[in-house]
Amino acid sequence: MKAIIHRDNGDPDVLQLVDRDLPAPGPGEVRVRIAVSGINPTDWKARSGATGPQRFPEVTPHLDGAGTIDAVGDGVDPSRAGQRVWLFLAAAGRPTGTAAEFTVVPADRAVPLPEEAGFDVGASLGVPALTAHRVLTVAEDGPRRLRPGALDGKVVLAAGGAGAVGHAVIQLARWAGATVISTVSGPEKARLATAAGAHHVINYREGDPAADIREIAPDGVDVVAEVALGANLALDMAVLRTRGTVSAYGNEGDRPVELDVMRSMVLNARFQFVVLYTVGSDPLAAAVEDVTAAVRGGALPVGEEHGLPLVRFPLDRTADAHRAVERGAVGKVLVDVTP
């Protein structure tokens, strides 16, 4: 089979296309023929060494993807062979991700993909959708699970609504009944956030964004889904309601975070930091179940018309795909692996 590997950390040029033997699933595992592999910022950061040194002599990257189970290991229901699935955390703690024609994963990381969804949707779930679920289910006064109506009466602010996680936050929050506000940096991203389903879109570079948000939500925002905490914290605190939550899943720009402790105390504000690797098995399992239900309900479509343009590369240009993600490509970068 064809696979992308790297033997050391470095820039995208460390990625190589090689031939490898077909892997065999072990007990509790399944082998998946990958159709589409999805790339997230965490993938290039792992490749570059930004998140720590490489743990295995050889790594096939990418956490997310979609395809078809073609073999199962001992202890796995044989009827799963032939099942269309979406994969999450495929390369987490393992040397083999989805940038290959076949990969082996624990059976619970290969989730049945609803018939209504194509492989592009499946490969775009994983990190963005599961992160968005966690962001939306950590508030003190909020639900722990998402379903239609779970966020009725709540106001969610999705910072960076044109990004992959921001896009998923908008879609899941709207599916669950929230009023969704998104902040963006310009008209093109405003168009994408609107297409994703945001009720209100505000350019944070113009006028008085805090006043604009307060006009929509006079009592404040219940949950802020934050991708650039250092840059946006002052705005977040200006619009957060009492007992509101700032859920931070990133700090784009690496700006220092300066916390107004007294204001945070007066608000009884909650700050939740989110990363999937250490979220725990129960929240992760709940997120997988709820995200699949949202897909089944048609709530997580992708593509330009749905606010998430797809940027595609063939397997042999995975290095170029990594460069696109590193340079901030708008939309979701996908690698087409097999037909």
State residue 59's pLDDT score: 98
Contact 186, 203 (CB under 8 A): yes
Average pLDDT, the chain: 97
At 142, the pLDDT band (50, 70, 90 cuts) reads very high
> Both 109 and 245 in a single domain?
no
Distance (Å, whole) CA 258 – CA 271: 13
> Both 140 and 162 in a single domain?
yes
At 253, the pLDDT band (50, 70, 90 cuts) reads confident
Question: Of all residues in the chain, what percent carry a pLDDT higher than 70?
Answer: 100
Distance (Å, whole) CA 225 – CA 202: 15
First to last CA, the chain: 14
In a domain, 298, yes or no: no
Q: Is 312 helix (H, G, I), strand (E, B) or coil?
A: strand
At 339, the pLDDT band (50, 70, 90 cuts) reads confident
Total domain count for the chain? 2
> Both 107 and 142 in a single domain?
no
> Both 9 and 43 in a single domain?
yes
Contact 99, 3 (CB under 8 A): yes
Return the percent helix, strand and coil in the chain, to nearest 5.
35, 25, 40
Q: Which residues of 251-260 are buried (b: 16+ CB within 10 A; e: fewer)?
A: bbeeeeeeee
State residue 326's pLDDT score: 96
> Both 112 and 179 in a single domain?
no
Provide the angle, in degrees to the nearest 10, between the axes of the packed helices 281-296 and 126-135.
110
In a domain, 260, yes or no: yes
Place of tokens 């209100």: 200
- Say yes or no to pLDDT of 281 above 80: yes
In a domain, 176, yes or no: yes
pLDDT tens by residue, 34-51: 999 999 999 999 999 999
> Both 84 and 145 in a single domain?
no
- Say yes or no to pLDDT of 77 above 80: yes
Q: What is the pTM of this model?
A: 0.96
> Both 101 and 134 in a single domain?
no
Helices (H), the chain: 41-48, 119-123, 126-135, 164-175, 187-196, 209-216, 229-239, 261-267, 281-296, 318-326
> Both 99 and 137 in a single domain?
no
In a domain, 79, yes or no: yes
In a domain, 299, yes or no: no
Distance (Å, whole) CA 174 – CA 154: 10
Distance (Å, whole) CA 168 – CA 146: 13
pLDDT tens by residue, 178-203: 999 999 999 999 999 999 999 999 99
> Both 207 and 153 in a single domain?
yes
State residue 174's pLDDT score: 98
Q: Which domain holds residue 321?
A: 2-124+308-336
At 161, the pLDDT band (50, 70, 90 cuts) reads confident
